Structure 1
Amino acid sequence: MLNRNAIRSGAYLDSFESLPKELLWTQARIDASLAQTLAARPAGDAGDVWIFAYGSLLWNPISDFDCRRIATLHGWHRSFCIRLIAGRGTPEQPGRMLALERGGSTQGVALRLCGAALGEELRILWIREMVTGAYRPTWAPVTLDDGTQLNAIAFVAEPDHMHYENDSSARAIAPLIAAASGLFGSNAEYVFKLRDALANCQLGDPYIDELVSELTRVAGQPA
């Protein structure tokens, strides 16, 4: 499983060395993205930094946090819209990576990063998420389970990325996900872990439920 030591040691970035060099982001570019995102923080929104977890951050956040709350992200919905050629897929047998696309809303978890080590925790997060720049870190409105409203960083799909895919419907992507696997495990395992993580939070997503059903249908994956 991906962990802090793999990121700190550079082993995580090294695991992507087989990908085309033009696809990989350098550490300098990753650091620049983090700086640009912090500079773009909404005016008057100072203090704590929250991250919206909607995928693997739900069950394997890695970054240390001091508060975890059920939350709803407004204006974005889950979408397996990024072609996946590393981690849980390969160039020869690509899968799909989860992101967010505009429209609707998403239930997930808001994580408040520890203030004393905020810089280190954000850097760990950026290395994890921005290896190829397939995401666009975005400040987006979130409502916590007690009604508190705030802005959180969400990693949404970068529609200009070379691996962005227009069709992310469950029926179209289920055969791809069912066949894909890589260094971090199978692509289908990710979907089932997401379904279970949502259930553990007493949350759900009709899109994920539909995808689980399609995976069961096309590949006989256990539901």
Structure 2
Amino acid sequence: MINRDSLSDGAFLNSFKEALGDEWWSEERIEASMQDMLARRPPNQPVWVFAYGSLIWNPVFHFVESQPGRLPGWRRSFCIRLRAGRGSPEHPGRMMSLVAGGHTDGLALRLDEYTLEPELRMVWRREMVGGAYQPAWAPVQLEDGRCVEAIIFTANPDSPMHETDDSVETVAPLIATAHGVLGSNREYVRLLDAALKHYDIHDDYIQALAQRLEQLAPQADRTQVGSKTRVNTAGA
């Protein structure tokens, strides 16, 4: 489960070590990445994190301001092969990121300067487990008219986990049957779809994916039941 305790004591990070192998990032490497981003921080500006996925409904880290915002030039994409968390090596799913094109509506979350590093460390330990993301500073247009520089996490095309085909027809069958220690991949999309609707955010890609998963649900459920039956029979 992703919570403050599991991120603080290393349990979340270590739970990925075996599944990711050489792609797993150590605490030292994660810390170095975070400090590099802070060194490139826009001068005299607060630190915002742009939430476009699970950070919307389960941010975990503490922040002092939340504003709806639009990130131009990037769109949501299920382009990361998921072998842990909500997937497994036997049944990999897909994790969401950002790729170039269009725009993304989400939430901009501003961190408190007095607790900046420990709270940002929560974000880094969560997002940079396997190096599939590339953190960057990018302009985000807030709903109240302000334009701020925020930290975004985009897809790393050099990651071994990166997939170029993120079409709904390709990723939906994978997501429909993938599950891991954090739950099912399908549940992630359901939670994302619900969170976007809650904030009145429309995303054609996510809406189409959620609808396709609903269509695949009966078939996926039968597949999972059959798989469990075979496992139980083999172990009897």
TM-score band by shorter chain is over 0.9
Contact 1:96 1:176 in 2 (8 A): yes
For 1:16, the equivalent position in structure 2 comes to 16
1:171 CA displacement: 0.9
Describe how 1:49-68 pairs up with structure 2 within 5 A: 49-68=47-66
Contact 1:56 1:194 in 2 (8 A): yes
**Structure of higher CA gyration radius:** 2
For 2:166, the equivalent position in structure 1 comes to 168
Query: RMSD in angstroms over aligned alpha carbons?
Result: 1.4
Describe how 1:84-163 pairs up with structure 2 within 5 A: 84-163=82-161
The TM-score normalised by the length of structure 2 is 0.90
Letter in 2 for 1:74: P
Distance 1:121 1:4 in 2: 10
1:210 CA displacement: 0.4
Distance 2:141 2:203 in 1: 17
Greater CA drift, 178-187 or 210-219: 210-219
Superposed CA offset, 1:51-74 (max 9, x none): 000000000001100000010011
Where does structure 1 lack aligned partners over 5 or more consecutive residues? Answer: none
Match of 1:203, SS?
Answer: coil
1:40 CA displacement: 2.4
1:150 CA displacement: 1.1
Distance 2:117 2:35 in 1: 10
Where does structure 2 lack aligned partners over 5 or more consecutive residues? Answer: 222-236
Q: How many equivalent pairs are there? A: 220
Contact 2:20 2:83 in 1 (8 A): no
Contact 1:195 1:204 in 2 (8 A): no
Contact 2:20 2:130 in 1 (8 A): no
For 1:80, the equivalent position in structure 2 comes to 78
Identity of aligned residues (%): 50
For 2:25, the equivalent position in structure 1 comes to 25
Superposed CA offset, 1:116-161 (max 9, x none): 1001011111011001000000111100011100110001100000
